[in-house]
Structure 1
Amino acid sequence: MNTKERISAQFDLTPAKSVPELMAKPTAEAMSSIAGDVDAFAIDPQIADTSALLDATGLGPETSANCVLVAGSRAGEERIAACMVLANTRADVNKRVKKLLDVRKASFLPMDRAVDESGMEYGGIGPIGLPANYRILIDTRVAEADELIIGSGIRGSKLVLSGAALASLPTAEVVDGLANEIS
């Protein structure tokens, strides 16, 4: 069974464009920028965090991609990126992301700021609908995935789409070696 079939056995999958209430406003508004099918499903907000969702569903970490917001500055210019990495990997913030952003130091965006700027809920932040000045860096393993679970912008739902659909986002860049395996 593929990821979508395994999810649909436990949740009601619906085409995301038909259920904007299952997404943060910026996510719903940006749905037209995605090439390919995107489905949404409602969840208990208590299982919004990746590990809780995977435990509750029995799905493996390779079925879920996390969105990590990272920032750094160079010559007074702030540079922000959303890093999309599989749940069984960690974004290489101190080397790869720092080099891609061309900054001296890269750090995770503080939670309050991430929520304010994205218009999304913490624990539900995803790449669809992020501010236009955010680069979207997608690990090659994410881009190559047939189907993935990602944040919908709210804790009460998730989205299912292909890695190719994520890579179709206007500011998306597929990056080899963006993340390292968690040992």
Structure 2
Amino acid sequence: MVGTLEWTPAAARPDLLADAVAAAVGAVPEGEVAEIDPELADTAAFCERYEVPLEVSANCVVVAAKRGGEVTYAACMVLATDRADVNGVVRKHLGARKVSFAPMADATALTGMEYGGITPVGLPDGWPVLVDEAVAAAPQVVIGSGLRRSKLLVPGKALVSLPAAQVLALAQ
């Protein structure tokens, strides 16, 4: 297992998942969930308290891509040790003139998830999920559950199988 958490099959604990995540958790049948202190949901605090190595934790960043007055959203998955190359790789891949981190209010309203718990599992239909190569290759990664009070543990390859997932060299 990973860290000091008690992991249980995610499908058995929908109460620990945002509604959209609970509805989509079947896409990652090997996923497990663990309850955490919501005050420790941010990556550094979470990893320290629950003894999860940063390189096993992956962050989901929601970006807003703009081109010709149109805004589209995407999710980027990178290891907690890395940063997504939003202005380079992501912008070019999405064919956008400008890409920025989506405002918190937009990200939470559009996903139905809590800030600090946003995950690629259960995102709105059509959103690209850009998965860094290191995340895709990881045997297991800890990601958000849609709620600040829990985390998911999934194989990296499970993220690649999500709808609209694409593997890229995202890390800077």
User: What TM-score do the two structures reach when normalised by structure 1?
Assistant: 0.91
Aligned residues: 172
Q: Are the aligned partners of 2:61 and 2:77 in contact in 1 as well (CA < 8 Å)?
A: yes
Q: Is the 8 A contact 2:17 2:150 kept in 1?
A: yes
Q: Take 1:40 and 1:80, find their aligned partners in 2: how far apart are those partners?
A: 26
| Aligned residue identity for 2:151 | K
Match of 2:118 among 125, 128, 132: 125
The corresponding residue for 2:95 is 102
| 1:25-174 correspondence to structure 2 within 5 Å | 25-34=19-28, 36-174=29-167
CA contact (8 A) 2:67 2:98 kept: no
Alpha-carbon shift at residue 57 of structure 1 (Å): 2.1
C-alpha deviation, 1:133, in angstroms:
2.4
Instruction: Return the letter of the residue paired with 2:2.
Output: R
- Residue 6 in 1 paired to residue 2 in 2? yes
Partner of 1:178: 170
What's the TM-score, normalizing by structure 2? 0.96
1:152-183 Cα deviation digits (max 9, x unpaired):
000000000100011110111011x2111xxx
Deviation per CA, 1:83-115: give whole Å up to 9, x if none.
Answer: 000000001011111001101110000000100
CA contact 2:141–2:156 (8 Å) conserved in 1: yes
In the TM superposition, residue 76 of structure 1 has moved relative to its aligned partner by 3.3
Indicate if the aligned counterparts of 1:80 and 1:133 stay in contact, CA closer than 8 A.
no
Residues 53-80 of structure 1, C-alpha deviation per residue, up to 9 Å, x if partnerless?
Answer: 1111232211100000011122333221
Alignment-mate amino acid for residue 28 of structure 1: A
Counterpart Cα distance in 2 of 1:18 and 1:59: 23
8 Å CA contact 1:69, 1:80 repeated in 2: yes
